[in-house]
Amino acid sequence: QVTLVESGGGFVQPGASLRLSCVASELSSDSYVMAWFRQTPGKEREFVAAVGWPGGSEAYGDSVKGRFTISRDRVKRAVHLQMNTLKPEDTAVYSCALRIPRIIFGRWRDATVYNYWGQGSQVTVSS
């Protein structure tokens, strides 16, 4: 059974940076997609970013493109989300998600295709 453990959330001022990490324990497959979604109360879950293996392709949500970067640590079975130039509207609970096996690129933004989810990490951006 795969478990996703997240770390790195917190409280920062606008313009600051944060790095989220997600480690997938017991992940033995080499075909998967790891993604980040975020959600605020009263709103739908929003796709943030994803990376797929094999291949290493990446995808980003429109609201974070150019500011956030997703990366993968194959050895540690981890994915990181580097968030730069944070804005108050980035405030949300960020959740890591894993899809096994890898699915077509066009479906990476669909939260329903992911098999496993992390517990969520709060990110608050405020002055």
pLDDT at residue number 6: 94
Cα–Cα distance between 3 and 46 in angstroms, integer?
Answer: 22
Structure tokens at 111: 């939260």
Sign of the Cα pseudo-torsion (118, 92, 70, 59, in order): positive
Helix, strand, or coil (residue 106): helix
Q: pLDDT tens track of the chain, all 127 residues? A: 899 999 999 999 999 999 999 999 988 888 999 999 999 999 999 999 999 988 889 999 999 999 999 999 877 789 999 999 999 999 999 999 999 999 999 999 999 999 999 999 999 999 9
